[in-house]
Amino acid sequence: MPTLVHSQIMTMKKLLLIEEDTDIREMVAFTLENNGFEIVRADKDITSGDAIQINPHVIIIGYSASNPGNKPCAELKANDLTNPIPVIVYSPNLEASKIGDKCADAVLAKPSELEDLVYLANRLAYKN
């Protein structure tokens, strides 16, 4: 009698990456794509309406002095449709930890190992 093998098809998780620095955005996107994520890239101008259309499993927001991540983060968490989407704030700025207290589900300091970001994105994406 043949053995039946159950195969489970894993769906690719979609991440919205909001980062104004093109080089950092591409490096982070490349790493995440190579770890099985579908990446939608955005610079700093994105609204909760845009996020609703994209329908990501996780949102990663780069925080910088010229683009504090608290505005998009707060807007996403204030909207009932985007509020459940986990948000990771990725930042070199110690002020970013204050954002984490208000709206981010996780805060990761730059520079950090990209493996840490991949781990965190996986943990939050597969939680949903």
At 46-102, the pLDDT tens digits run 888 899 999 999 999 887 655 555 577 778 888 899 999 999 988 766 555 555 556
* Interatomic CA distance for residues 83 and 75, integer angstroms: 9
Alpha carbon dihedral 86, 60, 54, 24, in 10-degree steps, equals -170
Per-residue pLDDT band at 106 (split at 50, 70, 90): confident
* Higher per-residue pLDDT: 103 or 52: 52
How far the first Cα of the chain sits from its last, in Å, is 39
Distance of CA 32 to the CA centre of its chain: 10
What's residue 66's pLDDT?
A: 57
Query: Can you say how many angstroms the Cα of residue 39 is from the centroid of all Cα atoms in its chain?
Result: 9
pTM above 0.85, yes or no: no
The whole-angstrom separation of Cα 90 and Cα 32 is 14
Residue 34 in this model has a pLDDT that exceeds 90: yes
Tens-digit pLDDT profile for residues 7-33: 444 578 999 999 888 998 999 999 999
pLDDT given at position 43: 81
